[in-house]
Structure 1
Amino acid sequence: MKKIIISAAAAAVLLSNAAYAVEPEIEFDYNSGKLTIQGTTEKPNETITLNILKPGVDIEQLYGENGESILHNDYTVTDGSGRYVFNISIPEGTEKGQYIGYIGASSFDSPEEFTLAYMSGEEYSEAIERLSAAAGDADEFKKVLSEIGSEIGFTNSLTDSVDADETAELLRNAVSELGLSTTDSGENKRIYDTVTVIQAFNENKMTDFADYADSILIDNENTIGFYKDIISGGSGEQVFINAMSGKNISGIDEFETALEDAVMISVARYPDGIGNIEKVLKEYKDRTGAKTESAKNANYSAVAGRTYSSVDALIEAFNDSVESNGSGGGSGSGGGGGSTGGGGGGGSTGGGGGSVSSSHGNIASPINPSNPTAAELGIKFEDLNSVPWAYEAISKLFSAGVISGRSETIFAPNDFVTREEFAKLVVTAFGFNDDNFTNNYIDVPAGAWYEQYVCSATEHGICNGVGDSGFGVGANITRQDMCVMIYNAIKANGDSLASGEITFSDAADIAGYAAEAVGALANAGIVNGVGDNMFDPNGTATRAQAAVIINNALEMR
């Protein structure tokens, strides 16, 4: 007899101070009758116990009784990564119903509870056929769903919180359009989970979309990838929830379109790097009409950090920027600065730039100087009084997720920039941050906050190391090396700069490998000298000065 495990919806009862445990993954092969339960805890080599109770049995009945209430009990030991696996054979003739299971360990304050809805394959097929047959009549469908919904696994943590009638109607429409499988309980559950998520958004009750991101039915998996990689758990989460809520979505296709729109709006507001805006706008360009084919970094930067009321408004602003060579940003409202982000360890780099005189001289002046106040730009950093020329660059790059402060209120604009910090700044600004990279540097430890940035920059030809197999971690970056990185990033982005003759009095001090970059950037107005017609190629730069070069490079078109 074929058997089906319908669902594994879990109500995790671990307390906040218990060892972390991922909700168990449960699979059932109804052809072999094998049930697999697996998961992860924080502790390796720990004994994990499993008890699956028979329907109607309370956990208190486990203590002091003879085992009649238990369908299955077992134990195993986690591997070196804290992973555990139980493989169970479900006996023939097992009773249909809801089975509660508990996974326990000495490190848990309480067992982790999960629920299995079990029935034979024939019983499941009959139930699905009955529900499908009722899809032509709203009242009959609702009646059948109320009778057998929990038996076939059509339940989750949202079921009791959303309107049952509205959810039933959404499900009826989905069943009429997509149909239900008499054998694939997992796919049927995805349909049910999707309509309950839709209804939760419709009622403004969705707060934990991350819990359902992997279980909803959606054609374009990249949409969920964008949500998980860029939005989930970050500043853009609430923007995403707001964009999805209260829309009265009536179907799964409409839901997928709304998800795409919410992703674009959220990533534009909190992009965590301009490259992410480029990714999402290119993904949906065929539907939205975004002119990404002719877009440059400046166009993505123009819409970064702004709030848009709709995707239409976002795309209009983006296309206007493309048509006007990078200016604008449309009617979206600008974002402020102030919260901490970026890499750990040495911290992420940032700052503004501008025409600044100090012991280090002038390094750059803003291409579009306007000198707005920090308050006008919504900047919350409290230490920018010495760099008013940098306000606008800091605001733009902070809103785009390129830079961050040392804390919520401290930016440290006059701190020097290290080589790894500047690599992070360039890679993030130009969208070259790659998950797949090779690390051949002896001074870049695996897992260091800057490893991915440094190696991504190297992979894209933006920079090289120094000496024998080293990157020069911890060393302040020189002015000529900053020019080389920016120049190479511009070329790697498919753009070009006109070459320029170096007229600085200390041109002979500029290294041969940097001469072309310095000449081109100086000719384009992206960098200046330090006064007295000197460039000072081996001098260093501050966070404020470094960021203005990035901002100028992004706005040069």
Structure 2
Amino acid sequence: MKKVFIVLFVFMMFGISANAQISKEDSNISVVYTELADKAFDTIMYVFEPGVDLSDGEIDDEDMQKLFKMEQRNEVTEFKYNFTLQADDPEGIYYVVIGGFEEKKPLSERSDCFVHLRSDTETQIVSELNSAEDSNALKAVYEKYNKFAWLIDKENEQYKQDVDAFYNVMYDNFGKCFVNAADSEIIFNKTATLVDFSNLKGDELIQAIKTLGLTDSIFYEENFEQVATLYEKYTNKGSSINELKKTLSEAIAVTEVNMSDSNVVLDVLKKYFDIFSVNFEGNFPKVSETQMARALYHKDFVRAKDVDDAFNNRLQQLISQVSSVSGSAGGGISNYGGSHSAIISQGIIDSNIIKQLKGEEIFFDIDECEWAADYIKGVYRRQIMIGSDGYFRPNDFLTREELVKIILLAKELDIENDADRQFNDVKKEDWFYQYVMTAVKNQIVFGIDKTTFGTGMTVSRQDAAVMLYRAFADNDLNEDENISTFNDSTKIADYAKKAVMWMQKKSIISGFPDNTFRPEDGLTRAQAAKIIFELIQ
């Protein structure tokens, strides 16, 4: 038989706290009381047999008629008492009280109980519990053996509000799962937690997850507070153990995605293949994993569907970019920012340049964006865009600071170390500090506001157009010209319209196949290579 330990917290005279532990193995009972103070006290222990009524909070003469054992220790800091129940001792609930009549603390704070049942009695009770065919039958067994084999907390708010509904929940989730009589109280408490689960928050929610044993996830154990914070946002977590396990598993997976860096976030999606509905086959191998990761890491997703949508939308954007052989783009920064994907149109490259480059392999991944191969080789030869480790990453989006450097190299401007405008997100130790300061001095960029440059943000097509216009415009645009060829021209911000008109007139951009400009989409490295190459011819 396994030991059953009941921890009893009591308070002795003068408010000195104490600890008592009751253990029961078969018919052997052990009570260990350890006084936490250095000073010794006279201590008395009462054990009352089943049937005693201590509900009034006092020990009176009538209660003493049910006294089963009494033990006293004089001036001790540790109290130990062992005794054995005999075959003819009464079955039921025994109460242990520390402090006797003279204790000044409430009886409820210095008493606890243990259950004594013969093996045949316990077998019979467990059989009746597991034989219950519905919630009403289970309720009848609980009522039958209450105050004999267990104590039902009828003051529990979840129980009081609807007793029948309470037992419905118990039966649906825990019916026929009883191993011993002690399970009855454990399952009662779990049911109360389950009924109230949707109302719990913070530490109470965390404790409820533990009480119900909803997960054994290592990630949850290490990040339970973050998971619980997200889990609180689930308006419908479920009403059964299985449903709660499922939604908690979702919250764990989404939390791990939110907390993952770009280099591992896709692996997290693969790890939770049963949670996220994303496909790493099909079109996925055709696109840049770096660009896919940018759509997912360091976000505030709530449900798995949010992650699915972000993944699938970005995949669709990148596939449209890879499969298209025409389009348009821009790059740069003005007073606003933007992100997403973009397409570059093909153009005519000088035949002499083509002859110089033909047959030369510079990057391993140019095949990913074949239409831009010659443009990429052109800007590489001029050391404007050089890639790294043999890869150009043509489908990666450019950040604002990356495009600043590309434009300055293309313009061959002298690099400056300072400017009148400073930004909180541009530090002197950053690799792009000098390029941003130079661009500011040359009025190519101004930041997304007075104190923020927008470091790390994907540059939008319309912001790119503005930056390129400021750097390369030859002022040959009439003020009365307007953008009329793009179906989404009304979506182009006022501050960018002149720049877009200039690039359109220069035939640097021609739009997507559906005749849209998509001003808030982003700019890829391949697209930037095409634009820069044409601007410097």
Does the pair score TM above 0.5?
no
Structure 1 length-normalised TM: 0.42
Which has the larger Rg?
2
